[in-house]
Each structure stands twice: as C-alpha cells, then as structure tokens.
Amino acid sequence: MNILGVETSCDETSAAVVRDGVEILSNVVSSQVEIHRPYGGVVPELASRQHLELIQPVIEQALERSGCALSDIDAVAATYGPGLASSLLIGLNAAKGVAFALKKPFLGINHLEAHLYSPLLSVHNFDALPMISIIVSGGHTILAHVTAIGSHEILGQTVDDAAGEAFDKVAKLLGLRYPGGPEVDRLAKEGNRAAIPFPRSMLDDPGFNFSFSGLKTSVLYYLKKNPDAVVADVCASFQEAVVDVLVGKTLRAARHAGVRAISASGGVSINSRFRERLAAECQRGNLRLFLASAPLCTDNAAMIASLAFHKLHCGTASDWSLDVAPSIGLGRA
Ligand code: KG4
Ligand code: ZN
C-alpha cells in the first residue's frame, strides 16, 4: 500500500510516499529557514504564504521521485496538529483535495504521534515496543511510554520552554544565527563542558517533567556578569546542562517503566553530545537505542505517511470535516 503524506505544521513544506509503512519511496522537504532567519524565528504569515506556493510542486516532486503515479496512491495523509493554524490548513486541505479526487481514504495525523515512531521507521523495526520515546524539538519536550503503535502514555513534558527553544534563545544571547541549536552544537565541540556550572533544572525532581527557562536565564545573567566569556565554553557548558537532564530523565523513565528500548526524535535529537551520551548510557544499561536519521528527526512527511499506514490498518480513516487542531497535545492513546 502506497501512502502519500503531507506535512506543513511549521516552516517545512514536505511530501512523501511511503510503502507499507516502512519503505520510504520519497521524502521531499523544502525548508523555509532562510526566509525566517532575518526575523530570528518563524513568522506565521510568511510560513503559510510559502506553503501555499510550494505545496503543489513539493507533492509533484514526491510523486516523481517515488516512481509512483497518482493512480498508484492508496491513501493520503496530512498533519492536522499541533502547529501553526494557517500553515496546517494548507497541507490538510491540499491532502484532502488529492484524496477526494482519487476517491481514496484521507487520514489526519497527529504530528507528535508521528515523531514517536520516526526512529523505528529508519530501521524498519516496529517490534521494538514497548519503549520510552523522547521528543525534543523547537516546540516540544515530551517523554512518553509507548506500549504499541497507537498506544502511549505521557510521563512528562516541559513546564515552560522546549529544549530546542532553549538552544535557540541561548544562541540568540550569544549573537549566533538562527536556528541556534546546530550553531551551539558546532561551537560546543571546541569548548569546556565543565567551565560553567549551569543548573540542571528538575533533574532530581522525582517526576518526569522538564524546565529550561531557568537555565536560559542563568546564561543571560552569566553573560551580563562576564561580558568577555568564551563563547565556546558557554555553549559547551549550557549544552551539557541540557543533555544531563534529557539523558538522565530518559534513562530513569526506562527503569521506571521497565522497558528495554529507548527512542529519540525531533530536531534536538540530532545534537551530537545528546546522541553520544544517550548511546553510552543505553550501552551501559543494556538498552536498545533507536535514533532517527537527521532527515527523519526534523519535520518530514515520511513519518506522517508511515503512521497513517498503521492507523489505516486499524481501520481509522478520518472524516472529510476534520479541522486543524493547532494546540492539540500528544494526549493518551
Ligand atoms: O523538530 P524540529 O525541526 O522542529 C520543530 O518541530 O520544532 O526542531 C527544530 C529545533 C530548533 O530549535 C533547532 O535549534 C534544534 O531543533 N536543533 C538542534 C540541533 N539541530 C536542530 N538543537 C541542538 N543541537 C542540534 N544539532
Ligand atoms: Zn516536529
């Protein structure tokens, strides 16, 4: 079964064709990062205008690269939330239009739920469940216990800023370009991780929630007091504080849930130090680790098409009246 997936929740216009839930025939992602860079963040109005311009060529390209004709498509899926309302509307309506014209099922997919499974998609391995899955992106930091496809429980999430947001805000304080995560990651390689003892917020808290706004404020005060601080040291010390908390809580969640597998997705999961530490801890704890390849960590339509296959398998196509849900969470399923 070939599913055409569409993703336009934020600033990436993406379309993909995935066969039987695991075989990625194409995954076209058009990033708008250059358009939003001068503003230091995503401008919703600009994002939706770009999606409108790009959605048709991106879908056409995804079909062309997949080697499939429209008539080979068995179902069409799109992200319906969470995300920017005006951006979601473009992808959702384009996908509905294609499905309607083809007289094929249409599925609305929760973007966060798709992130949960994207690491399994890259290894074609869906028998790793149950697992602890951490989503660390620009908009979310969520720790979930996934017991089966479509069945999960949120153990914790951020009470303020998302991990990626903290990377981006700290990068801005340091005068680095947007998006800040990759810049901090790059500079941290030359810095001393132990140079500045930034706080490990909520690490010793018995729950699984996260908080990153205090850490960002600590960096701000440190820079005010130390205007000549070595940027690489600030990056390395800040990054280590974030990674300590993310890895510490993920491992504790795995012990708490009694699972033998961990997965991570979202833009921050590309971070080299995060990957290094998570891999080392999983090896030490004899846990299987599933990390998505970089194009599957960030927003992409392949993860949408993949989850749609599994949803369709359970017989859950969506109604044509499905609306966008900009603030929907991961929920309990
Ligand atoms: O998943 P994503 O592409 O978009 C959202 O759905 O939010 O994640 C983007 C976030 C940005 O905050 C970006 O700075 C961060 O992921 N990011 C990184 C790295 N690469 C991207 N953060 C830390 N280290 C990286 N290497
Ligand atoms: Zn995302």
Q: Ligand 1: residues whose CB is within 6 Å?
A: 10, 137-139, 164, 167-168, 179-182, 185, 266-268, 270-271, 298-299
In angstroms, the CA 178 to CA 176 distance is 7
If you search the block for the tokens 């697992």, which residue do you land on? Answer: 131
Contact yes or no for 55/47 (Cβ under 8 A)? no
Tell me which ligand sits closest to the C-alpha of residue 7: 2
Q: Can you tell me the distance from the alpha carbon of 148 to that of 203, in angstroms, rounded to the nearest whole number?
A: 28
pLDDT for residue 122: 67
Give the distance (Å) from ligand 1 centre to CA of residue 297.
Answer: 9
- Sequence-distant (6+) residues with CB within 8 A of 281 are 247, 251, 287
SS (H, E, C) 147-189: EECCEEEEEEEECCCCHHHHHHHHHHHCCCCCCHHHHHHHHHC
Look at ligand 1, atom 10, and give the residue with the nearest C-alpha: 138
**For residue 266, which ligand has an atom nearest its CA?**
1
The count of C-alpha atoms lying within 13 angstroms of the C-alpha of 296, restricted to the half-sphere facing its C-beta, is 28
Asked if the model's pLDDT at residue 13 lies above 80, the reply is yes
% of the chain surpassing 70 pLDDT: 98
**What mean pLDDT value characterizes the chain?**
95
Q: What is the Å distance from ligand 2's center to 277 Cα?
A: 22
Quote the CA–CA distance of 241 and 155 in Å, as a whole number: 21
Query: pLDDT by residue (tens digit) across 94-141?
Result: 999 999 999 999 999 999 999 999 998 867 677 788 999 999 999 999
User: Residue written as tokens 């995935």?
Assistant: 18
Residue 333 — pLDDT band, cuts 50, 70, 90?
A: low
Question: What is the rounded CA–CA span in Å between residue 30 and residue 47?
Answer: 12
Of ligand 1's listed atoms, the one at least distance from the Cα of 239 is 23
Work out the average pLDDT over 245-254.
98
Ligand 2: distance of its center to the CA of 137 in Å?
Answer: 6
User: If you measure from the C-alpha of residue 73 to the centroid of ligand 1, how many angstroms do you get, rounded to a whole number?
Assistant: 31
Two structure tokens written together for 254 = 């795995």
46-62 tens-digit pLDDT? 999 999 999 999 999 99
Residue 331 pLDDT exceeds 90: no
20-44 residue pLDDT tens = 999 999 999 999 889 999 998 889 9
Ligand 1 atom at minimal distance to the Cα of residue 111: 6
- Cα of 111 vs centre of ligand 2, distance in Å, is 6
Architecture per CATH, domain 125-294, reads as: 2-Layer Sandwich (3.30)
> What are the residue ranges spanned by the domains of the chain?
2-115+296-313, 125-294
Query: Exposure pattern of 178-200 as b/e (b: 16+ CB <10 Å)?
Result: bbbbbbbbebbeebebebbebee
Predicted local distance difference test score (pLDDT) of residue 83: 96
174 versus 315: which is more confidently predicted?
174
Using CA positions, which residue lies closest to atom 3 of ligand 1?
Answer: 298
Question: What's the pLDDT band for 229 if we cut at 50, 70, 90?
Answer: very high
Burial code (b: 16+ CB inside 10 Å, e: under 16) for 90-114 equals bbbebbbebbeebebbbbbbbbbbb
Q: Please report the pLDDT score of residue 40 as a whole number.
A: 87
Q: 2-115+296-313: which CATH topology?
A: Nucleotidyltransferase; domain 5 (3.30.420)
| Helix ranges, 12-147 (H) | 33-36, 44-66, 85-102, 111-122
Measured from the alpha carbon of residue 186, the closest ligand is 1
3-state secondary structure of 263: strand
Same fold, 2-115+296-313 and 125-294: yes
CB atoms within 10 A of CB 230: 16
Closest ligand 1 atom to residue 266 Cα is 1
